[in-house]
Structure 1
Amino acid sequence: MDTAGLALLVPGGRGQLGSDLAAAAGGADLVHAPGSAELDITDAQAVADAVAALAAAARDEQLRPVVINAAAYTAVDAAESDVDAAFAVNAEGPALLARACAAEGVPLLHVSTDYVFPGTAERPYEPTDPTGPDTVYGRSKLAGEQAVLAGTAASWVVRTAWVYGARGGNFVKTMARLERERDQLSVVDDQCGSPTWSADLAAGLLELTGLIASGRGPARRVLHCTGGGQTTWCGFARAVFEELGADPGRVRPCATEDFPRPAPRPAYSVLSPAAWQAAGLTPLRPWRQALAAAFTSHGDVLRGAAG
């Protein structure tokens, strides 16, 4: 994607998605991708200063500024007992960003999650479908969406799901570790979703950013962007084993009730790409192709041999 002429601020820029956004946006004239230690999005003054600095730099260099918020509290189980922290990062932080962006006239693109839905659907969720999160994490992310969309800034929300990447911990790396440690393992086979490689998601978000910066942002302000197709966690795990050169039959299916967690997982969290495609945006490749590409590009890291 062409990012020339853009000035980007990416809160959460040291995380799994943020680091891929920063790397993919290398062609932009200005990219600032601070981690949480450098920019705490729950600090109102720090947020206001960061957005003001972006706007000023963009004016000086005649660039088009956009904020892409990749900062999030993503510890789904921990959030059940750490409610204040989850809401601070996932709801109050986006509200502060929206306020600062409105003050400076800077568009805001906010990344959200499938967890805002109850997970009881029988067909892919559309952006307009009723929400109804069952977890603290989901409720905090929904509150963040609402704060962003209620502000006066030009803003968009992109929901995604089942994200994995080269940086940080994720399901793919966990499966690679368990493949080394166990002869067999059981993985739930009654939860369905769409695995999403963070590098593909970053490319999609930057394509949308280009439209927003050019003043051609889609009329629909909530969009869905995930890897194409769907599978279960067991199917995903078996695909990881295939990429590792291991026997996928070593992964046995089990039910959600066999592995109770503090935060309930949605049984069905497939997100429809229809609104994304209707906006003229490129759909992400099928999840299985993306997984193969991820191992080709970052195999050592995903296997745990590095990083």
Structure 2
Amino acid sequence: MILVTGATGNYGKSTINALLNKGISASIISALVRDAAKAEDLKAKGISLKVGDYDNYAGLVEAFKGVDKLLLVSGTDLVNRTEQHKNVVKAAKEAGVKHILYTSFERKNESETSPIYFLAKSHLETEKLIKESGLTYTIFRNNLYLDVLPMFFGEQVLDTGILFPAGDTKSAFALRDDMTEATANVLASEGHENKEYSLSNTENISLQEIAQNLSEIVDRDINYVSPPQDVYVETLTKAGVPAQYVGMFASFAETIKQGEFSSEKTDLENLLGRKPLTAKAFLKEVYGTK
């Protein structure tokens, strides 16, 4: 039995769909959801629903009984995430889960000097918990999703250009659905015990190159400007962007600039058995009809 947590979220649901597309029987897939009413589409596909959440330890133990492979999709509650994941790992061990798989993040800097340490800390702590648990594990070091770039660019990017303080550093951004397909391939096969995979694109690309690609796609000049951090923060703040988003965007821009998402690893391509979707192809899907 395969159990996918966070099954109504983007990553969990996409992984389940990828498993089904591979021909894995719905009868051996279950989904952990907080609200069964939000998972009617999964139920209609024959997926068994387990109601529970990361804060309810006893509920997790019950939900995990009979599970061979458990995909722990990282939670979104940054304040309580480590404790929540601790519940999952302990419950998995108590319930007799044979193999836990975890969606972590790609990085080079694991210290508190990382611009995204507020996100990184709980991932690093969870990886440690998993390895110390004695459970067989697989850890996915997911790169930054191509899918989030439009959010960084803003809705008016075709009129205003790209304002983002990421410098000229290249990154191996990858499509979330490519990552979930690779995750499904691991869940559906053997030979991945106690391994870590970097789910990064084989292509490294800069924001300047992305602006050039976008210019070609929409047939007009899309400029890329990488301002100083303080100027960027001031500009977004004056534009009325909520402070929490300004801080997050600025942190990710600095992380890109420092090369944290650059990668020469081919794990994603190897697990997919094909080249991951390129940034240009993604941009064409998003902006090609505008």
The TM-score with structure 2 as length reference comes to: 0.71
Secondary structure of the structure 1 residue equivalent to 2:14: helix
- Structure 1 runs of 4+ aligned residues shifted over 6 Å read none
2:232 corresponds to which of 226, 240, 259? 259
CA deviation string 1:64-84 (max 9, x = no partner) = x311122332xxxxxxxxxxx
| One-letter amino acid of the structure 1 residue matched with residue 197 of structure 2 | L
| One-letter amino acid of the structure 1 residue matched with residue 200 of structure 2 | T
**Is 1:109 equivalent to 2:107 in the alignment?**
no
What are the ranges of 5 or more consecutive residues in structure 2 without an aligned counterpart? Answer: 36-50, 234-245
Q: Which residue of 1 aligns with 2:89?
A: 98
1:18 corresponds to which of 7, 12, 29? 12
What are the ranges of 5 or more consecutive residues in structure 1 without an aligned counterpart? Answer: 1-6, 56-64, 74-84, 119-130
Q: 1:34 to 1:246 in 2, by over 3 A?
A: farther
CA deviation string 1:9-62 (max 9, x = no partner) = 11122222222111101132232334454532232122212211x53xxxxxxx
Q: Which residue of 1 aligns with 2:30?
A: 32
**Separation in 1 of the partners of 2:90 and 2:188?**
22
1:231 corresponds to which of 194, 205, 217? 205
Question: Superposition pairs for residues 177-196 of structure 1, below 5 Å?
Answer: 177-179=155-157, 182-190=159-167, 191-196=169-174
Contact 1:192/1:233 (<8 A) preserved? yes
Contact 2:146/2:176 (<8 A) preserved? yes
Q: 1:16 to 1:105 in 2, by over 3 A?
A: closer
Question: Superposition pairs for residues 73-152 of structure 1, below 5 Å?
Answer: 73=76, 85-89=77-81, 91-103=82-94, 104-115=96-107, 117-118=108-109, 131-133=110-112, 134=114, 135-152=117-134
CA deviation string 1:209-260 (max 9, x = no partner) = 233xx3x2245x32211121212344335545544x243x323231452424
The TM-score with structure 1 as length reference comes to: 0.67
Contact 1:189/1:234 (<8 A) preserved? no
Secondary structure of the structure 1 residue equivalent to 2:202: coil
**Separation in 2 of the partners of 1:238 and 1:281?**
30
**TM-align CA RMSD:** 3.2
Greater Rg, structure 1 or structure 2?
2
Q: 1:231 to 1:159 in 2, by over 3 A?
A: same
Q: 1:175 to 1:86 in 2, by over 3 A?
A: same
Contact 2:178/2:272 (<8 A) preserved? no
Q: Which residue of 2 aligns with 1:67?
A: 70
% identity of equivalent residues: 11
| One-letter amino acid of the structure 2 residue matched with residue 109 of structure 1 | L
Secondary structure of the structure 1 residue equivalent to 2:247: coil
Contact 2:170/2:207 (<8 A) preserved? yes
How far off is 1:184 after superposition?
A: 3.1
CA deviation string 1:111-131 (max 9, x = no partner) = 11125x32xxxxxxxxxxxx3
| One-letter amino acid of the structure 2 residue matched with residue 196 of structure 1 | A
1:205 corresponds to which of 179, 183, 188? 183
**Separation in 2 of the partners of 1:35 and 1:259?**
38
Q: How many residues align?
A: 245
CA deviation string 1:73-112 (max 9, x = no partner) = 2xxxxxxxxxxx41422x2232222222223133111011
